[in-house]
Amino acid sequence: MIYDMTQEQLAGMLDVLPMELAFIDADDKVRFWNRTEGRGPGWQPSALGKPAQACHQDSSVPAVNSILHKLKNRARDVVERKVTSNGEEKRFRWYAVRDANGRYLGTVEVIQYGTEIAQDSEHG
């Protein structure tokens, strides 16, 4: 529940979390991402308002479409993948966001990098 938070407060709160976050709306458009300095390549400013598929390499688009389809159509509420690239482990999670009536509002994408995954495991 949110009580009278400003956009600046909400963005600031999300920026301090030890992970990358992005919100992709029900029309597959990128609407938000948190700051990612020192965490990874992050999203490009030009991505806002564009289809999520346009923000990925062509070879990744079928996987993006599959994930979004599963979340939209209630086949899954969460999809998780781990990838190792250049010796660093990354954990990707996508969560379906639904309103109180179960209507799909979009997807939150969460990316954690090796050091963040280890820290998460230590505190969990």
Rounded to two decimals, the pTM is 0.81
Class in CATH terms, 18-123: alpha beta
The predicted structure's pLDDT at residue 102:
95
Lowest mean pLDDT among 2-6, 35-39, 94-98: 35-39
The predicted structure's pLDDT at residue 119:
52
> Two tokens at 100?
């109180």
Half-sphere exposure for 74 (CA within 13 Å, toward CB)? 4
Strands (E), 1-124: 20-25, 30-33, 78-85, 88-98, 104-113
Provide the residue ranges of all domains of the chain, joining segments of one domain with +: 18-123
Q: What is the pLDDT of residues 38-90, one digit of tens each?
A: 555 556 677 889 999 988 889 989 999 999 999 999 999 999 999 887 888 88
Q: Which residues contact 19 (CB under 8 A, 6 or more apart)?
A: 39, 110, 111, 112, 116
